[in-house]
Amino acid sequence: MVSSLSMTTLAAAASRNGAVSAARTMSVRAMSSVPTVPNFINGKFTESSTSKWIDVTNPATGEVIAKVPETTQEEMQEAAIGAAEAFKEWRKVSVSNRVRVMLDYQRLIRENMDDLAQTVTREQGKTLPDARGDVFRGLEVVEHSCAMGTLMMGETLGGVATDLDQYSYREPLGVIAGITPMNFAAMIGLWIIPTALTSGNTCIIKPSEKTPLTAIKLAELAQKAGVPDGALQMIHGAHDAVNFICDDPRIHAVSFVGSNRAGEYIYDRATKTGKRAQCNLGAKNHGTILPDADKEMALDALAGAGLGAAGQRCMALSVNIFVGEAQEWIPELVERAKKYKVGPGHEAGSDIGPVIDAAAKERIEHLITTAEEEGATILLDGRNHTVEGYEGGSYVGPTIISDVKPHHTCYKEEIFGPVICVMKADTLDEAIAITNANPYGNGCSIFTQSGAAARKYQHEIDVGQVGINAPIPVPLPMFSFTGSRASIRGDLNFYGKAGVHFMTKLKTVTSSWPQSSMRWGAVMPTMDK
């Protein structure tokens, strides 16, 4: 079963579209053994009329579990028109009533946590405990959006001149589009949907074509929570859908998380049409380990942060710099990594699930091979890993590569797999220099018991998110996700206050209610009285 939603929703979608052409009917029947993923347009889960479908596979088995449409231009137009029309009324709903919808949304997500996590695991591959974390970190953003009445507050200054006041307040932009990645099927969508809706915008989401099932469930829950028809739309596809979002004049802002190549393209294309754009891109996160660190804590943290979620996190701690005597701990890191069990995410005891698909597995293994060819040392080799009973799955075992240099391909590329690159430095200054020389600036961490060393590190490191004895320093939603340098395009970050600012605009009012007659002339007002 794809999900509790899919069978009933898909059947209903097929029924609603009973008047389709004979050719389309044949196409649907040919796929009858594999469920199709509906669009969600104007409050209805509807079967696409497209002839182009993309396989959605279970990474643990390689089995095709659904087919997702390349939504047609006409359907995408319908979604954009519907979102623009819905905005006219949704923006008028009081912030208190929009918050009440989000309060119901967070309750429904909490009640359906296990079902959502199981869907994430089935289509993305991560272990069930990690999938629950995926949903929960998104849920926290929904909860934080319930403070929108405070987050959208403006500023007032009375008496800037005689009988003259000025005040500013935030207004919603309009239609916000989100293009979400495969590695966090729940969390990233929930970075966008609640902030956009609660601030008075409407929203179009294009989930990854590799993991659309969780997104459709989130749409169903949003509808149950009271999000009005048209305020949340969901379309599917690949390049054509991305281009539509970048180009359509009814869309005012684009929020994207994914690779550098895609993000740079989206940022350039969207901003050329006058849209706001925020694009979280790739990463190469460095951990610096000093000899005075708590060894057991640090090694556990490094293994989990580098190998967990099969390394498919933009905040994976994929480079470990061991400083001075801490280099003696490298063999112990290898021993910890060897204990991690690779297996399907739905099975208890699995520590590392599969990577997303066979192409990702091939790419990761190629990058490990380049490390070997370029002079690095493979201390633990996860290539050609198979899991008994799941031979069709896309598994890569935990891998530790030592003696990595900045010119190595495995260092320059974001591997996005369960691979840790180990580097060595003589001093903290050298470790900071290595980290700062890397173009990415998403996250980094230091492990030490020295307050002076930690303070030096946090002030001299040129990375947007810093952990001190914390391996994955992703901010909670009262702050914002603040990756920097090559890890982001745009100047306003995701969620938190920065996310609200991205999705709203300031309006400033100058108000004059004079107590006596007042005359304005041709001279520039100076407001000096």
Query: For residues 466 and 199, what is the distance between their CA atoms, to the nearest angstrom?
Result: 29
For the beta carbon of residue 455, count every other beta carbon within 10 angstroms.
Answer: 11
Read off the tokens for 345: 């995410």
For the beta carbon of residue 199, count every other beta carbon within 10 angstroms.
Answer: 25
Query: For residues 316 and 302, what is the distance between their CA atoms, to the nearest angstrom?
Result: 9
Query: For residues 162 and 529, what is the distance between their CA atoms, to the nearest angstrom?
Result: 6
Backbone angles phi, psi at 206, to 5 degrees: -115, 100
Query: For residues 113 and 128, what is the distance between their CA atoms, to the nearest angstrom?
Result: 11
**Angle made by CA atoms 132, 138, 140, in degrees to the nearest 5:** 105
Q: What is the pLDDT of residue 31?
A: 53
Query: For residues 317 and 329, what is the distance between their CA atoms, to the nearest angstrom?
Result: 17
What is the full DSSP assignment across 248-272?
A: -TTEEEEEEES-HHHHHHHHHHHHH
Q: How many CA atoms lie within 13 A of 431 on its CB side?
A: 31
Query: For residues 260 and 243, what is the distance between their CA atoms, to the nearest angstrom?
Result: 16
Query: For residues 285 and 291, what is the distance between their CA atoms, to the nearest angstrom?
Result: 20
Closest alpha carbon to 207 in 37, 31, 2: 37
Q: What is the pLDDT of residue 521?
A: 75
Residue pair 237/245 in contact by the 8 Å Cβ criterion: no
According to CATH, where is 3.40.605.10 located in the chain?
39-282+483-507
Query: For residues 213 and 210, what is the distance between their CA atoms, to the nearest angstrom?
Result: 9
Query: For residues 215 and 207, what is the distance between their CA atoms, to the nearest angstrom?
Result: 6
CATH of 286-439+443-468, one of 3.40.50.300, 3.40.630.30, 3.40.309.10, 3.60.20.10: 3.40.309.10
Residue found by looking up tokens 């498919």 in the block: 312
Q: Percentage helix, strand, coil, to 5, in the chain?
A: 40, 20, 40
Q: What is the pLDDT of residue 12?
A: 42
Query: For residues 344 and 121, what is the distance between their CA atoms, to the nearest angstrom?
Result: 9
Read off the tokens for 201: 């915008």
Per-residue pLDDT of the chain (529 residues; tens, 9 = 90+): 333 344 344 444 434 344 333 333 323 334 558 999 999 999 999 999 999 999 999 999 999 999 999 999 999 999 999 999 999 999 999 999 999 999 999 999 999 999 999 999 999 999 999 999 999 999 999 999 999 999 999 999 999 988 999 999 999 999 999 999 999 999 999 999 999 999 999 999 999 999 999 999 999 999 999 999 999 999 999 999 999 999 999 999 999 999 999 999 999 999 999 999 999 999 999 999 999 999 999 999 999 999 999 999 999 999 999 999 999 999 999 999 999 999 999 999 999 999 999 999 999 999 999 999 999 999 999 999 999 999 999 999 999 999 999 999 999 999 999 999 999 999 999 999 999 999 999 999 999 999 999 999 999 999 999 999 999 999 999 999 999 999 999 999 999 999 999 999 999 999 999 888 777 778 777 666 5
CATH 3.40.605.10 fits 39-282+483-507, yes or no: yes
For the beta carbon of residue 78, count every other beta carbon within 10 angstroms.
Answer: 18
Query: For residues 70 and 375, what is the distance between their CA atoms, to the nearest angstrom?
Result: 43
Q: What is the pLDDT of residue 423?
A: 98
- CA 190 to chain CA centroid, Å, is 8
Buried b (16+ CB within 10 A) or exposed e, 334-368: bebbeebebbbbbbeebbbbbbbbeebbeebbebb
State the pTM of this model.
0.92
What is the full DSSP assignment across 114-178?
A: HHHHHHHHHHH---HHHHHHHHHHHHHHHHHHTTHHHHT--EEEEEEETTEEEEEEEEE-SEEEE
Query: For residues 428 and 441, what is the distance between their CA atoms, to the nearest angstrom?
Result: 18
From the list 203, 279, 314, 410, the catalytic residue is: 314
Q: What is the pLDDT of residue 37?
A: 98
According to CATH, where is 3.40.309.10 located in the chain?
286-439+443-468
Read off the tokens for 361: 């597995």
**DSSP at 376:** -
Read off the tokens for 348: 């208890």
What is the full DSSP assignment across 484-529?
A: EETTEESSS-BSHHHHHHHTEEEEEEEEE--SS-----SSPP----
Residue found by looking up tokens 């754009």 in the block: 277
Residue pair 474/481 in contact by the 8 Å Cβ criterion: yes
Q: Is 410 a catalytic residue?
A: no
Read off the tokens for 203: 């929203």
Read off the tokens for 443: 């996250």
Query: For residues 207 and 209, what is the distance between their CA atoms, to the nearest angstrom?
Result: 6
